[in-house]
Amino acid sequence: MEWYGSERWRVLKGVLLCSGAFLFALTAALTSDELPQSEQVFGAISPSDVANTPYGFYPAGTRLGRWISGEEFETIAAQLAVTSRPDISFDGTRMLLSALTGPDSVAQIWELNTDSGKPRQMFSSARASFSPHYLPNNRIVYSQLVGEPGEGLGLQSRLFTSELDGSDQTQITFGEGFQRIIQILPDGRILYGSFDSPEDPPSQIAVRPDGTEADLYVTQRALVASSDEYITFSERLPLAFRKHLRENRPGFRKTTPLPTDDGDIVDVFTAASRPRPPIATSVVKPGLDHGWLLCLDASESTFSIPSREVSAVRVWDSAADRLLGSAPVEADGSFFLEVPADRSLRLEIVDAEGKTLAEQGSGIWVRPNESRGCIGCHEDRTLSPENRIPLAVSKPAVKIAEAREKEVQS
């Protein structure tokens, strides 16, 4: 492939950069022999017949290495046992990874220079940190274990961000479950998997780098698959597009570890530059202790909820399983609440007698100064809202603390 590096290649590459789809198609079509010489090829090798770590996809004891001249495999940072595939920086010169230094150690975040392979620990934490990724705004995001395992929930983790030097560590998610980062989407959002319990399949949730606008990206039902059936989804319409992909159909390839004298090669990846997603602005105000929730019509639901029966909404602290307060639902089904920020919340719709009509199964949150809205309660997520002004916004938001006091007095 002598045309790599030539003027013709540079012109073609410049044209293709205008279309991410075409560039992706070209990259996918290249074989390993056709990769540009500037790309370094890395691999992960693990002992045979060992279990995966609880933080990622690699078996325990997996080490990183790279191929020299396409043939010799050289181990790098041999003191580190990595938990999952490293994330390559946007310029292709560095990689972030989660690794342990011994059988009794706690997984920490490390950064390696792709040329030298010399590791640098980003920070030290008493709790395991894993699945780190570079963010477009020169910060990093990672998952970290929090608290103690809840009854029937197993490990609990949340998402945090920090500066590249490990400073300014900030928690950005506040729901329940085991949360593990999957990737940074082309629009700059963070896609992560959330396991509500060990028996349930994960939901995939997209959130902005500041923790706002967390929204379901792929439903749990879309991820349920038998041993011979897999589900794909569209990034453009992830909730509406579901396709079963069987093992014997074109486009599916099952991978197995490649055995070597030193163990099994469980992964191969390249270190190359890639487009940097856009940097998103943030509405978060760290000094504020609340945000807002707006619902257009609580009776709009996939369940049968007669609008005339909806009377009030209750707000629970889902982590503590404690009622924070309640507020009336307007005649058109809308409600507008001021709620505590950075806390896992669960909403419950009740009738005039306090009977539950519908409730959330998992927690949501708002960041300081964030406004979140929904069309209804368990509504069809492919719907667009009716073009009208809800009655609830014609008056100030109900402060849940005030509602709680009134409820106790009554």
pLDDT tens-digit map of 239-280: 443 443 333 333 333 445 556 667 778 788 889 899 999 998
User: Residue 180 forms beta bridges with which residues?
Assistant: 193
CATH of 38-271, one of 2.60.120, 1.10.10, 2.40.160, 2.120.10: 2.120.10
* Burial tier of 221 (Cβ tally within 10 Å: 0-12, 13-18, 19+): exposed
Mean pLDDT value across residues 157-167: 93
**For 245-259, 280-294, 335-349, 394-408, which range has the lowest pLDDT when averaged over its residues?**
245-259
Task: Specify the higher pLDDT residue, 358 or 80.
Answer: 80
Q: Give the pLDDT confidence score for residue 244 in this predicted structure.
A: 39
- The token pair that represents 151 in the structure block: 């009854």
Distance separating alpha carbons of residues 349 and 379, to the nearest angstrom: 13
The two three-digit tokens of residue 256, written as one number:
């197995």
What string of DSSP letters covers 150-185? BTTTB--EEEEEEETTS-S-EE----SSEEEEEEE-
Measure the CA–CA gap between 252 and 218, rounded to whole angstroms. Answer: 20
Overall fold of domain 290-409: Immunoglobulin-like (2.60.40)
Instruction: List every span in the chain annotated with CATH 2.60.40.10.
Output: 290-409
Predicted TM-score (pTM) of this structure: 0.78
Confidence of residue 318 (pLDDT cuts 50, 70, 90): confident
State the chain's mean pLDDT as an integer.
Answer: 77
Tokens 């593990």 locate to: 180
Residue 371: the pLDDT is 96
- Ranges 44-53, 77-86, 395-404, most confident: 77-86
pLDDT of residue 92: 93
Which band of pLDDT confidence, cut at 50, 70 and 90, is reported for residue 89?
A: very high
More confident: 322 or 404: 322
pLDDT band for position 53 (50/70/90)?
Answer: low
Select the more confidently predicted residue: 181 or 235. 181
Q: What is the rounded distance in angstroms from the CA atom of residue 157 to the CA atom of residue 196?
A: 11
State residue 200's pLDDT score: 63
Higher pLDDT, 303 or 243: 303
Report how far residue 401's alpha carbon sits from residue 261's, in angstroms, rounded to the nearest whole number.
64
The pLDDT assigned to 249 comes to 37
Question: What's the pLDDT score for residue 108?
Answer: 95
Q: List every span in the chain annotated with CATH 2.120.10.
A: 38-271
Helix (H) or strand (E) holding 266: strand 263-271
Min mean pLDDT across 18-27, 74-83, 204-213, 258-267 is at 18-27
**261 Cα distance to chain centroid:** 36
pLDDT at 339: 96
Average pLDDT over residues 100-116: 91
Contact 358, 305 (CB under 8 A): yes
